[in-house]
Amino acid sequence: MTGPVDVLVRATDAGDTYLTWRWLDDPAHPEFAVLPAARVAEAGELLAVGLPAALPGETAAAGVHRALTAGPFATRAGERALSTALTDAVFPQRLRSQIVERARASAGVRVRFTPSPRLARIPWELLFVTAEQRLLEVVEFVHEPPAAVHAERPRLPEDWEQARERPALLVIDPPTPRSAVGYGPVLDRSDQLLFLRRLSRHAASGRVPRAERASAISAMTRHDLSAALAVPRSRLFYLGHVSARPDEPGSAALHLSDTAQTWGEAEPLRRVGPDGTPHADPQDHRPLAALDLLLGTVDADEPVWRSYGSTRPQRGHELWPMPPRVAMIVCEGHADFRAEETFGLVVAMIHAGAGLVTTTRWTLPADREFRGLPGVGPGSRPVTDLALRVDAAHESLDPVADLTAWQRERLRAWCDGSVEPTTGTPLVWASPTHTIAPSRAVIVAAG
């Protein structure tokens, strides 16, 4: 048996969708397949019916209820039918066969995938490589940003072995100003207690300073985040709200506790008055956008510089330097890849020093929305359990392998019927994605 082998898979939408792949044990022989646009579009529509994001004419609550009770991810038969249809539409048979062959002959296969916008939300790990075997069962699956993201990267990720003993930073469900309608608490009080216990264990082991325990589940502004990241960190874990418009790169944003009085690139969220028009208020909420994390205060004036303790403009990587590992348990944190120009929170964090970003590829329901369904117990908290599992994985030597092993367990339980379909749905445990961007060696030709 040979050692582990990687396959690089890249997708481009140009009329049809073009999928190319190259095995690194045979790099001189790249291959490609053409995915007809109509079939890819149909696959996207089938997937959309299964996801909690509201479809045209639906309210947000109706979209969640549909996904959890009537969509294809609500039953094993429905999920299998959807995954089979997605496999037929976007996963070339030749590539499937090669993956199975390499998996049998090697110590492991890793797929490194750069999706096109049309393929960004596809749950590839659930697709089939044989009639009964899923891709998740035979590979590690990671995303890679386009090569251009590495060009002139101002802050390279530190090696985990050098950073692992530093304190982690956990930002859990920071409250947003009252004007941020629809961005209320993600966690109920009982769920918050689980995180407080987790923080206590981190503090007891020295992984999180005790002074941060009380502030982890409380208000946090972009200034607070900047100050916290000024302390060298091993990792950042964020659970809260994210929003993004797929057609506008850079609009993706974290929802912290900032008001409109705080300078930033994103427009504040305004309350709509009785006359149907937004009314400006200093207490409106301003999200922290990916553009902020990239540009910092270069577009701001001197008072803004001084608010960060500087006499000059600072780039985002100076104000919010990212540790080597970042996790965001949010709605559609992976939205970067849904835009024609691949840029959002994931790429901004890579630009600022992250080497691994784990986040979610679609909207996640809140635990309270599961608990509101018939037959679901009051102690059910699948999303909180996912978040805690990701947090634990990011403490391990190999987070991708650790979380992949857990997902394989979830897949087996889902397929053999040992979990309740509503709370055991792949909508939760198949949502995480890993984007890797390690430092690349610079080769200088001898002159």
How does pLDDT run across 53-76, given as a tens digit for each residue?
Answer: 999 999 999 999 999 999 999 999
- pLDDT of 318 > 80? The answer is yes
What pLDDT does residue 212 have?
53
**For residue range 280-292, what is the model confidence (pLDDT) as tens digits?**
788 889 999 999 9
Residue after which a domain boundary falls, among 81, 114, 144: 144
Helix (H, G, I), strand (E, B) or coil at 179: coil
At 310, the amino acid letter reads S
pLDDT by residue (tens digit) across 95-107? 999 999 999 998 8
Q: Are residues 211 and 73 in the same domain?
A: no
| pLDDT computed for residue 444 by the predictor | 42
Give the Cα separation of 173 and 186 in Å (integer). Answer: 6
pTM over 0.95: no
The pLDDT of residue 206: 64
Of the pLDDT bands very low, low, confident and very high (cuts 50, 70, 90), residue 443 is: very low
Please check whether residue 446 lies inside any domain of the structure: no
* Cα distances (Å, whole numbers) of residue 46 to 84, 85, 116, 121, 335: 11, 8, 18, 12, 19
426-446 average pLDDT score: 81
Is the pLDDT score of 441 beyond 70?
A: no
Alpha-carbon separation of residue 80 from 35, 273, 340 (angstroms): 21, 46, 30
Q: What does the pLDDT read at residue 339?
A: 82
Is residue 325 pLDDT above 80, yes or no? yes
Same domain, 185 and 101: no
pLDDT at 45: 96
Q: Are 153 and 142 in contact (CB under 8 A)?
A: no
- pLDDT at 246 (0 to 100): 66
pLDDT of the residue at 214: 39
Query: Last residue of a domain, which of 144, 170, 199?
Result: 144
Lowest mean pLDDT among 22-36, 111-125, 254-268, 361-375: 361-375
The answer to whether residues 163 and 259 belong to one domain is: yes
- Full domain range(s) for residue 244: 151-436
**What's the structural domain count of the chain?**
2
pLDDT at 195 over 90: no
- Is residue 324 assigned to a domain? yes
Low-confidence winner among 136-150, 197-211, 244-258, 259-273 (lowest mean pLDDT) = 197-211
% of residues, the chain, pLDDT over 70: 94
Cα-based torsion angle of the residue sequence 52, 219, 345, 181 in order, rounded to the nearest 10 degrees: 40
Residue 263: the pLDDT is 95
Residues 213 and 309 in one domain: yes
Looking at the structure, do residues 181 and 63 belong to the same domain, yes or no? no
Pick the last residue of a domain from 126, 144, 162: 144
95 & 221 share domain: no
Asked if pLDDT for residue 215 goes beyond 70, the answer is: no
- What is each CA distance from 82 to 37, 52, 137, 349, 427, in whole angstroms? 18, 15, 18, 33, 13
The mean of the pLDDT values for the chain is 90
Phi then psi dihedrals of residue 5, to 5 deg: -135, 140
- Give the pLDDT of residue 446: 44
Q: Which residues contact 74 (CB under 8 A, 6 or more apart)?
A: 67, 68, 421, 422, 425
Q: List C-alpha distances in Å: 336 to 151, 167, 306, 332, 360.
A: 17, 28, 31, 9, 11
The answer on 262 and 130 residing in a single domain is no
Say if residues 20 and 9 touch (Cβ distance below 8 Å): yes
